């Protein structure tokens, strides 16, 4: 089946209005890639229901701005930050040279697709539903189970298809033996600058050479608009440039456009052309023995120096709110060699070095991730906003203090679980009580979210003694731990056996918290700690 040339579909992402942007007053407007860059200073952020697409579009706009402007020095990037908008001339040169490479349905050079695949379904093609581009939409048998419909009824407009395609380089996951993840492996948490305007968000995302991945190739630049529009099936690439990584074709795709006679099943809009099916195969990947790729928007946990295991990217964890990774994601860590340590995203190192917070007291960021089973199952996305005090960005000791604070809270949670499990069980015949134990942990951490924000604010104050701030935090954690524990005990029951269990559990809890506070105080070098611990434990 072929489409006549005169009726060939067309959707130019460079000029067509497909990116929804939000203005400071809340008004929204859709623009193409060119308009979004030229008018980035007029808007606050990308507005999209799926945070995964926000990441994809942000990284695409960043890649284009990086290619067009190519800042080489801190002074050059700082002058751009202090300006009012992107300069028009570099964008015009980029458009003249590469603007034709962004047609979603081009027969010869389709955007982020392989031109050797036909534009319409061909005999023998293994077709996939377009819903595969958006993990939040059930496909296959899940469409029947959870949507009570058929996946064949999915019809995405050109804008939704483009957004899903833009998210593939960042969020492609493993699917059996056939599909390997994208360049960053199991999807990590992406940390995106979230300044007041889209312009400043993108400028803060432009990486100077010294902050780009060290293993990035300087010889072979295969950004999508400079490479042939052909993605070999299951190809391994050893050399990857930085721009190549931002548009990494982890999947070999070909969208099948069809005239839209109804509304988009995802957003409700109507464009001349929509997409229902596509070819979706394994594309490029890096060899297993390739040097590790450190994405500048991700944080990593380094192994001990003598460990053969590669670094581990920070990614969403079940039951763990993103703020609990505050120190690992945002703060500078001491450079030890013998033990594991974390390194924050290089984009924050650059922001701290350039003082991009300026007169603002905080540097805002947005953290987006996709939680999976590290294989084909997708559980949820995470989306959290933070305001990092500018004074903490370059303060290594603050990272240690925050890490100690979170470790103390984590140890408290573990002690509470152990005390309650020892008293009321949690396995075998009393496995029903495991839900009470899990509820207690959730109650503790949810109750600490607001106090932790206050702790960070106090820690950033120049006139606040850090020892006293940390003491206040430990007292808050202790109080919240006791409260969560007693609430959990009340859920066990009020018969004679349950009351005995509760008394035993409370005794274990008091003893565990006393020892934990004593050990933590000694670790911090608080001389009067033992007396204070003894006094409070009797209350």
Name the strand (E) or helix (H) holding 367: strand 362-372
- Alpha carbons within 13 angstroms on the beta-carbon side of residue 385 total 7
As given in the structure block, the two tokens for residue 498 are: 């349950």
Task: Supply the pLDDT for residue 10.
Answer: 95
In a domain, 128, yes or no: yes
Instruction: Give strand pairing partners of 103.
Output: 12
3-class SS at 277?
Answer: strand
Phi, psi of 385 (to 5 degrees): -110, 140
Task: Give pLDDT tens digits for 93-120.
Answer: 999 999 999 999 999 999 999 999 999 9
Quick check: is 161 in a domain? yes
Both 156 and 20 in a single domain?
Answer: yes
Rg (C-alpha) for the chain, rounded Å, is 26
Q: Could you tell me which of 71, 64, 73, 61 has the C-alpha nearest to residue 31?
A: 61
- Domain range for 160 is 5-184+211-285
Please tell me the predicted confidence (pLDDT) of residue 219. 79
Lowest-pLDDT range of 76-80, 166-170, 437-441: 437-441
The least confident of 147-161, 193-207, 262-276, 294-308 is 147-161
Residue 228 vs residue 504, higher pLDDT = 228
pLDDT of residue 4: 45
Comparing CA positions, the residue from 227, 219, 214, 222 lying closest to residue 243 is: 222
Residue of 476, 419, 481 lying closest to 451 (CA atoms): 476
- Is residue 281 included in any domain, yes or no? yes
pLDDT in tens, 465-497: 989 999 999 999 999 999 999 998 888 777 777
Question: How is residue 518 written in tokens?
Answer: 């004593």
Position 75 confidence tier, pLDDT thresholds 50, 70, 90: very high
- Do both 270 and 405 map to the same domain? no
Give the integer Cα–Cα distance in Å for 397 and 395.
6
| CATH assignment at residue 497 | 1.10.132.100
Angle (CA) 75-76-77 rounded to 5° is: 95
Pairing mode, strands 127-129 and 273-282: antiparallel
Residue 123 lies in a domain: yes
Q: Are strands 235-236 and 284-285 parallel, antiparallel or unpaired?
A: parallel
Alpha-carbon span 145 to 97, nearest angstrom: 48
Tell me: do 401 and 280 sit in the same domain: no
> Does residue 146 register a pLDDT over 90?
no
Mean pLDDT, the chain, integer:
90
Burial class (CB in 10 A: 0-12, 13-18, 19+), 275: buried
151, 129 Cβ separation under 8 angstroms: yes
CB 314 within 8 A of CB 323: no
Domain boundary among 225, 258, 285: 285
> Rounded to an integer, what distance in angstroms lies between the CA atom of residue 110 and that of residue 104?
5
Is the pLDDT at 2 greater than 50? The verdict is no
Query: 30 with 175, same domain?
Result: yes
Per DSSP, the residues of 112-152 read TS-TTS-SS--TT--EEEGGGG-TTS--THHHHHHHSS-GG
Quick check: is 54 in a domain?
Answer: yes
Number of Cβ within 10 Å of residue 61's Cβ equals: 22
Name the residue with higher pLDDT: 536 or 203.
203
Q: Does residue 191 sit in helix, strand or coil?
A: strand
Question: CA-CA distance, 458 to 454, in Å (whole number)?
Answer: 6
pLDDT value of residue 527? 62
Given 285, 309, 331, which residue is the final one in a domain? 285
- pLDDT of the residue at 535: 53
Residue 536 lies in a domain: yes
Question: Is residue 227 a contact partner of residue 369, using CB atoms and an 8 Å limit?
Answer: no
Residue 198 lies in a domain: no
Model confidence over 402-420: pLDDT tens digits? 999 999 999 999 999 988 8
Q: Six-digit token pair at 55?
A: 């990441």
Nearest to 347 by CA among 365, 321, 361: 365
- Three-state DSSP state, 341: strand
The residue ranking higher by pLDDT, 7 or 339, is: 7
From the CB of residue 511, how many other CB atoms can be counted at a distance below 10 Å?
A: 13
Q: How confident is the model at residue 145 (pLDDT cuts 50, 70, 90)?
A: low
| Domain presence at residue 385 | no
Integer Cα distance of 12 and 422 in angstroms: 63
Does one domain contain both 408 and 273? no
Same domain for 35 and 173? Answer: yes
User: 277 and 411 share a domain?
Assistant: no
**Total number of domains constituting the chain:** 2
Boundary (domain end) residue, out of 285, 306, 332: 285
């Amino acid at each position: 089946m072929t489409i006549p040339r005169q009726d060939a579909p067309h959707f130019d992402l460079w000029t067509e209005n497909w990116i929804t942007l939000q203005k400071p007053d809340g008004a929204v407007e859709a623009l193409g890639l060119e308009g979004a860059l030229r008018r980035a200073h007029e808007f606050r952020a990308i507005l999209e229901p799926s945070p995964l697409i926000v990441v994809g579009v942000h990284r695409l706009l960043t890649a284009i701005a990086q290619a067009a402007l190519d800042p080489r020095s801190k002074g050059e990037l700082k002058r751009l930050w202090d300006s009012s908008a992107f300069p028009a001339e570099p964008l015009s040169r980029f458009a003249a040279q590469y603007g034709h490479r962004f047609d979603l349905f081009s027969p010869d050079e389709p955007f982020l697709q392989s031109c050797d695949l036909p534009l319409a379904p061909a005999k023998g093609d293994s077709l996939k539903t377009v819903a595969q581009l958006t993990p939040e939409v059930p496909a296959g048998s899940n469409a029947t189970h959870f949507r009570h419909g058929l996946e064949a009824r999915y019809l995405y407009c050109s804008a939704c298809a483009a957004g899903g395609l833009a998210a593939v380089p960042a969020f492609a996951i493993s699917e059996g033996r056939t599909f390997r993840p994208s360049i960053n492996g199991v999807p990590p948490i992406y940390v995106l600058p979230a300044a007041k305007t889209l312009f400043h968000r993108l400028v803060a995302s432009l990486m100077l050479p010294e902050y780009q991945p060290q293993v990035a190739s300087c010889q072979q630049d295969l950004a999508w608009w400079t490479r042939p529009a052909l993605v070999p099936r299951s190809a391994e690439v050893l050399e990857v440039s930085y721009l190549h990584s931002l548009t990494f074709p982890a999947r070999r795709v070909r969208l099948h456009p069809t005239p839209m006679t109804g509304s988009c099943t995802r957003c409700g809009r109507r464009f001349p052309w929509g997409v229902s099916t596509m070819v979706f195969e394994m594309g490029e990947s890096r060899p297993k023995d390739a040097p590790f790729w450190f994405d500048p928007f991700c944080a990593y946990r380094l192994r001990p120096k003598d460990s053969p295991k590669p670094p581990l990217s920070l990614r969403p964890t079940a039951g763990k709110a993103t703020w609990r990774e505050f120190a690992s994601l945002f703060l500078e860590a001491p450079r030890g060699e013998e033990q594991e340590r974390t390194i924050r995203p290089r984009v924050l190192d650059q922001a701290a070095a350039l003082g991009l917070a300026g007169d603002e007291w905080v540097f805002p960021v947005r953290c987006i991730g996709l939680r999976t089973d590290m294989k084909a199952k997708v559980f949820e996305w995470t989306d959290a906003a933070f305001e990092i005090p500018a004074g903490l960005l370059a303060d290594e000791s603050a990272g240690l203090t925050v890490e100690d604070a979170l470790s103390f809270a984590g140890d408290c949670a573990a002690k509470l679980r152990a005390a309650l499990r020892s008293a009321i069980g949690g396995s075998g015949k009393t496995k029903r009580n495991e839900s009470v134990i899990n509820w207690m942990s959730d109650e503790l951490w949810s109750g600490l979210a607001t106090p932790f924000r206050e702790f960070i604010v106090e820690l950033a104050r120049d006139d606040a003694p850090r020892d006293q701030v940390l003491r206040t935090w430990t007292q808050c954690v202790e109080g919240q731990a006791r409260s969560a524990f007693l609430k959990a005990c009340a859920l066990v029951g009020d018969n004679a056996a349950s009351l005995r269990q509760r008394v035993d559990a409370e005794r274990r809890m008091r003893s565990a918290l006393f020892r934990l506070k004593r050990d933590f105080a000694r670790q911090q070098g608080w001389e009067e700690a033992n007396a204070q611990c003894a006094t409070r434990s009797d209350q």
